[in-house]
Amino acid sequence: MTNVIDAEHLSKDYVVNLKGSGLKGMVRSLFHSEKKIVHAVQDLSFTIEQGDFVGFIGPNGAGKSTSIKMLSGILQPTSGKVTVCGLDPAKKRIQNAMNVGAVFGQKTQLWWDLPVRETFEVLRRMYCIPDDVYQKNVKEFMDYLGIEAFADQAVRQLSLGQRMRAEIAASLLHDPKVLFLDEPTIGLDVNVKVSLREFIKKNQQRKRRNGSFDHP
């Protein structure tokens, strides 16, 4: 098996300005601010092989989202190194974006005022998805996730459950080799959570049948 993700001694630090208490403290911090280093991720090493399901489990503030953002190229590590499909995500952001899909439960990749169907069309052009692949994926995703029922509604009019179904479909339109999910079921009821998890499993089986894991 080939490693799709290699992370070696990955760390991410933030410098935070400390504010003094009270009015005097706030004024003083304008001229003499104290700084504190926050270690969001420390010395993280792991490998992920093609076809693996891997979950990050930990309390709030443990560095899960920060780690995913480094893997997706949004953040540059403070130290250590990571490769995704053989690329440095932060240095090859465009190439990396073609290889990965990402869903962040607190943020949207959909266009707020566009209908879902038109949003998918925008993504098709952004990722240069061949028409036959696009039509096949859209049909499968709409059928399984029940998106057709609200495909012509503006994203801002969707319920949270509907939006998350559209988010996951959008992240998979270009057949990414890696899918990052950061709290994709937050706020959803049990039935929708089960439906989304089953869809992700089904999509992995589909990729295996199509031989998508042969060349990570």
Residues near 71 by beta carbon (within 8 Å), at least 6 away in sequence? 5, 7, 82, 84, 89, 100, 180
- Local structure of 9: helix, strand or coil: strand
On whether the 1-91 domain is CATH 3.40.50.10540, my answer is no
What integer best gives the mean pLDDT of the chain? 86
Share above pLDDT 90 across residues of the chain, in percent, rounded to a whole number? 57
Its pTM stands at 0.81
Helix axis angle, 160-172 to 131-145, nearest 10°: 150
| pLDDT at residue 128 in the model | 94
Q: 195 pLDDT exceeds 90?
A: no
Q: Pick from 77, 93, 63, 95: which is nearest to 7 by CA?
A: 77
pLDDT over 70 (residue 209)? no
> Given this chain, do its domains 1-91 and 100-216 carry the same CATH topology?
yes
CATH fold of 100-216, please? Rossmann fold (3.40.50)
The average pLDDT across 59-86 equals 93
How is the chain split into domains, by residue range?
1-91, 100-216
